[in-house]
Amino acid sequence: MSHNLFNTRTSFNLASGATGTLYSLPALEAAGIGKISRLPVSIRIVLEAVLRNYDDKKIAESHIRELANWQPNAPRTEEIPFVVARIVLQDFTGVPLLADLAAMRDAAAAQGCDPKIIEPLVPVNLVVDHSVQIDSYNNPDALKINMEMEFERNTERYKFMKWGMQAFDTFKVVPPGIGIVHQVNLEYLARGVIQKDGVTYPDTLVGTDSHTTMINGIGVVGWGVGGIEAEAGMLGQPVYFLTPDVVGVNLTSTLREGVTATDLVLTVTELLRSQKVVGKFVEFFGTGTKSLTLPDRATIANMAPEYGATMGFFPVDDVTVNFMRNTGRTEAELDAFESYFKAQGLFGIPEAGQIDYSNVVELDLSTISPSLAGPKRPQDRIALSSMADTFNTLFSKPTAQNGFNQPAEKLSQRFATGHDDIAIGNGDVLIAAITSCTNTSNPSVLLAAGLLAKKAVEKGLSVKKHIKTTLAPGSRVVTAYLTNAGLLPYLEQLGFSVAAYGCTTCIGNSGPLEPHIEETIVKNDLIAAAVLSGNRNFEARIHANIKANFLASPPLVVAYAIAGKMNIDLDSEALGTDKDGQPVFLKDIWPTNDEIQAVSHFAADPAVYRALYSDLTRDLPLWNAITAPTGELYQWDDSTYIARPPFFDAAVPVASDITGARALAIFGDSVTTDHISPAGSFRPSTPAGKYLQEHGVSVRDFNSYGSRRGNHEVMMRGTFANVRVKNLMLPANSDGSRIEGGYTLYEGHQTAIYDAAMSYINEGTATVIFAGEEYGTGSSRDWAAKGTQLLGVKAVIAKSYERIHRSNLVGMGVLPLQFKGDASVASLALTGDECFDISGIAGVLQPQQDVTLTITRKDGTTLQVPLLLRIDTPIEVDYYRAGGILPFVLKELVSR
């Protein structure tokens, strides 16, 4: 950062009278390099990083010129080498990443190098937030009990993290019990600008959670990547990506009375999904954007993965600065932040016409109405007024139409559980959870939930005891402001006592239901419901036995918990009766904007933020009691949680054509990373369950796939093992439905996918996966790619890919290939008993070239099909040829 290319290294003035040094975008424009002031703000921030990190090696002058001359609708063939300022991890993805780093140190030492050459070159923060499960709820000790059980299950992993803290200079851990990674990032880790080596520059990052985008709400450029890509970034590789389109979203007007940020974000998700923004930057502007609070902006930014964008970006303005002040940043930091962005011409929400976007989408905020989304996808918005009719219609619709394929007459039936006179039926709410980063970052909806609970309790309303009610705030600040506002006791009276600080229900850590409840669901094939203030509701994600999952604002979560069922019209049907036996409707207890505003100051007290973040280990005796090994190299043992990964053991493969491959599985559309690599619990009869039992682990100590991500033996056995995944190679059931679970056909017999994969590997037979649209949507789960590679899969052939998963496949040396035109599994009539050759891989490999799939059917006939190679950039060609990113980076480091 000492060059002065284009005479752009210059000083700027702070309000305090001090000066700083920056790489000036206005100076770059003055040098005639491009019309930079017309570029989208997000592109300009990336451009600053490219300019500042110019070294004429990884970043050339041509990269700066190309990006400075970004055109709204040009062909996207150029890659951007983006050097980020820092990296954030959550523990599910952070632990395997740390295991990879430890294994890289072993490999470096084995080659005679100093193991310390493997060291993160940018600050890395791992926030432990995915390991807590809701075992205890609706009692004052729920938080304590759940944390004790979390530590009992995860001590081996936490010891490993503590080793990492002492082994790597730039690796820090935020312990369990503090909050979720995104809210900790928003409230504490993000500093606005960073000052290093005398230069001030914007905070930028990538994170190993797809919802890293929440930080876009405060003008920070950042998004989710797989752990594989983040690891390369930590070790000095730029994050490479194709120059993006930037879609401008012009928000106008303001939200109506009674409409929440959740209603807004579900509408935005539905709208932008229809606009096909996958892989694009989305940037919000206009008068409506200016009117939004910072938490509302963060809520929209958080959902970028759900609408498919790389980012949902909001420029910095006075609202941003005030948020940073209210959350405890120092006046010196605020001065540097505001002065820097003004000096760069980056301050303020743009007006219509000021920026050249690839295209512009319009949204009038006054048209938004109360909404939910579900029952299986976050983009399937349902107006609150239509909720009852929608559920009842979907109940009998075919699964292909997002329905549940149930006989209509079953809808009204109820079934005794044999316990406390409890009977349950279809549509009943069995989990009601205020959870996840979408809403626990937003005081307006949390305070609204508290106010609604207060009014409900005062009228004598209650929640049935068999409904699992949980409150899992995004940080301890939430508990502080709900307590200070006098609202937490009312939530507790309705069952919403604080059960955890972490990602819980939204990622499948909802914990078990009561046994008699689960038995009744399974025995009668009930379509039971969960309502949660989360961002994802994919099949089998929330709970294996709850098939209807609806996203809703926190106050609506409380309302539906009181109502007890989803198929109720809350506009016209009563939630319950008051103390006098009179009906109480939703409108009777819904808080007004004025009531919310009257308590909002409790969430904007800088002293609370400073106190709670000043010492992250205070009041955490369980964490402080853990002792950890020391040293530069990790001493691997027989832990079933942490094992040395095998990714550096094999010789570098030669990139060659694939011959004689067999299909391991054939999937339909919208197969998520949850389907590919589930995070939740698993049964004793699964390959993973059998492995753990063979290694002396009792069933009660299985924990979850997510917590076992430091052990490749468990994770490869869990690949494609989701209980709801459907392999189209298997014959249909008599009713036309598909067999669910991680099974395939091997030599004509149904077997576990893992067992079939091992048989193919032993035979030396390559395997491929076929899929439909949007393969790999969902969480940025690197094990979805790592597990695929360890099962011997050489290529995935799909109609389209989610951005992060495609990149992860390349990063693990697995070919992502894409059908062209109308070609698909269905049009090619693939059944899985064919043989496959893929040619065009050997020799010179070009990004996005055509390759040929040759299908040889059982009768000997052949068909040749052109495919698009989804290795998108030149650096990805290098990664693939090296056998993946990790071997590539290791070779580069040891050869220095």
Query: In terms of Cα–Cα distance, which of 558, 603, 556 is closest to 293?
Result: 603
Contacting residues for 890 by C-beta, under 8 A, at least 6 apart: 104, 107, 108, 118, 648
Instruction: Return d(Cα 175, Cα 180) in angstroms, integer.
Output: 10
User: Element (H or E) spanning 875, and its range?
Assistant: helix 874-881
Res 679: pLDDT: 84
Instruction: Return d(Cα 37, Cα 31) in angstroms, integer.
Output: 13
Using the predicted structure, report yes or no on whether residue 771 has a pLDDT greater than 90: yes
Contacting residues for 888 by C-beta, under 8 A, at least 6 apart: 232, 878, 879, 882
Instruction: Return d(Cα 350, Cα 290) in angstroms, integer.
Output: 9
Q: Are 680 and 703 in contact (CB under 8 A)?
A: no
Q: pLDDT band at 472, cuts 50/70/90?
A: very high
Instruction: Return d(Cα 725, Cα 676) in angstroms, integer.
Output: 8
Residue 383 bridge partners (DSSP) = 371
Cβ–Cβ contacts within 10 Å for residue 511, how many?
A: 22
User: Element (H or E) spanning 153, and its range?
Assistant: helix 142-167
β-bridge pairing 204-207 and 815-819: unpaired
Instruction: Return d(Cα 7, Cα 5) in angstroms, integer.
Output: 5
Q: Are 527 and 406 in contact (CB under 8 A)?
A: yes
Give the number of residues written for the chain: 896
Instruction: Return d(Cα 182, Cα 90) in angstroms, integer.
Output: 9
The structure tokens listed for 283 are 């940037």
Quickly list H helices, 687-826.
687-694, 712-718, 753-763, 782-790, 803-811
Residue type (1 letter), 80: I
Res 651: pLDDT: 76
Instruction: Return d(Cα 187, Cα 405) in angstroms, integer.
Output: 45
Q: Are 471 and 499 in contact (CB under 8 A)?
A: yes
Cβ–Cβ contacts within 10 Å for residue 651, how many?
A: 7
Distances (CA, A) of 602 to 127, 435, 494, 607: 25, 20, 22, 11
Using the predicted structure, report yes or no on whether residue 586 has a pLDDT greater than 80: yes
Distances (CA, A) of 34 to 9, 69, 281, 883: 17, 5, 20, 38
327-381 pLDDT tens trace: 999 999 999 999 999 999 999 999 999 999 999 999 999 999 999 999 999 999 9
Q: Are 497 and 138 in contact (CB under 8 A)?
A: yes
Quickly list H helices, 798-851.
803-811
The structure tokens listed for 274 are 């229809």
Quickly list H helices, 435-535.
437-440, 443-458, 476-484, 488-493, 515-524
Q: Rounded to 5 degrees, what angle do the CA atoms 826, 832, 838 make?
A: 85
Res 804: pLDDT: 81
- The segment with the largest mean pLDDT, out of 135-139, 400-404, 735-739, is 135-139
Torsion of CA 90, 316, 366, 308, to 10 degrees: -40
Residue type (1 letter), 96: P
Using the predicted structure, report yes or no on whether residue 717 has a pLDDT greater than 90: yes
405-437 pLDDT tens trace: 999 999 999 999 999 999 999 999 999 999 877
Instruction: Return d(Cα 823, Cα 867) in angstroms, integer.
Output: 9
Query: In terms of Cα–Cα distance, which of 262, 246, 257, 251 is closest to 289?
Result: 251
Rounded average pLDDT over 75-91: 93
Q: pLDDT band at 681, cuts 50/70/90?
A: confident
Res 559: pLDDT: 98
Eight-state DSSP code of residue 565: B
Domains of the chain: 245-314+349-369 (3.40.1060.10), 371-570 (3.30.499.10), 658-673+723-894 (3.20.19.10)
Instruction: Return d(Cα 701, Cα 697) in angstroms, integer.
Output: 6
Average pLDDT, the chain: 95
Residue type (1 letter), 118: I
Instruction: Return d(Cα 706, Cα 530) in angstroms, integer.
Output: 21
Eight-state DSSP code of residue 867: E
Cβ–Cβ contacts within 10 Å for residue 183, how many?
A: 27
Rounded average pLDDT over 700-708: 89
- Which range, of 12-16, 100-104, 231-235, 831-835, averages the lowest pLDDT? 231-235
The structure tokens listed for 426 are 């279809």
- Listing DSSP states for 640-707 in one string gives SS----STTTSPPPP---EEEEEEEEE--S--BHHHHS--S---TTSHHHHHHHHTT--GGG---TGG
Instruction: Return d(Cα 747, Cα 679) in angstroms, integer.
Output: 30
Instruction: Return d(Cα 536, Cα 674) in angstroms, integer.
Output: 11
Residue 468 bridge partners (DSSP) = 431
Q: pLDDT band at 1, cuts 50/70/90?
A: low
- Torsions phi, psi of 86, nearest 5? -160, 175
Q: Are 194 and 201 in contact (CB under 8 A)?
A: yes
User: According to the 3-state scheme, what is the secondary structure of 514-547?
Assistant: CHHHHHHHHHHCCCCEEEECCCCCCCCCCCCCCC
588-605 pLDDT tens trace: 999 999 999 999 999 999
Instruction: Return d(Cα 401, Cα 416) in angstroms, integer.
Output: 30
β-bridge pairing 193-196 and 199-202: antiparallel
State the distance between the two ends of the chain, measured CA to CA, in whole angstroms: 21
User: According to the 3-state scheme, what is the secondary structure of 241-289?
Assistant: EECCCEEEEEEECCCCCCCCHHHHHHHHHHHHHHCCCCCCEEEEECHHH
Rounded average pLDDT over 115-140: 95
Instruction: Return d(Cα 774, Cα 673) in angstroms, integer.
Output: 11
Instruction: Return d(Cα 343, Cα 357) in angstroms, integer.
Output: 23
Eight-state DSSP code of residue 218: G
Q: Are 181 and 127 in contact (CB under 8 A)?
A: yes
Query: In terms of Cα–Cα distance, which of 312, 181, 210, 131 is closest to 780?
Result: 210
Using the predicted structure, report yes or no on whether residue 780 has a pLDDT greater than 70: no
Instruction: Count how many Cα atoms sit within 13 Å of the Cα of residue 893 in the half-sphere of its side chain.
Output: 28
81-101 burial, b for 16+ CB within 10 Å, e for fewer? bbbbbbbbbbbbbbbbbbbbb
Query: In terms of Cα–Cα distance, which of 6, 11, 100, 89 is closest to 50?
Result: 6
Q: pLDDT band at 229, cuts 50/70/90?
A: confident
Instruction: Return d(Cα 623, Cα 279) in angstroms, integer.
Output: 39
Contacting residues for 294 by C-beta, under 8 A, at least 6 apart: 217, 218, 319, 320, 322, 323
Percent of the chain predicted with pLDDT > 90: 87
- Torsions phi, psi of 520, nearest 5? -65, -40
839-855 pLDDT tens trace: 999 988 999 999 999 99
In three-state secondary structure terms, 156 is helix
Cβ–Cβ contacts within 10 Å for residue 597, how many?
A: 12
Q: Are 877 and 846 in contact (CB under 8 A)?
A: yes
User: Element (H or E) spanning 102, and its range?
Assistant: helix 91-110
Rounded average pLDDT over 263-290: 97
Query: In terms of Cα–Cα distance, which of 325, 324, 429, 319 is closest to 374?
Result: 429
Using the predicted structure, report yes or no on whether residue 125 has a pLDDT greater than 90: yes
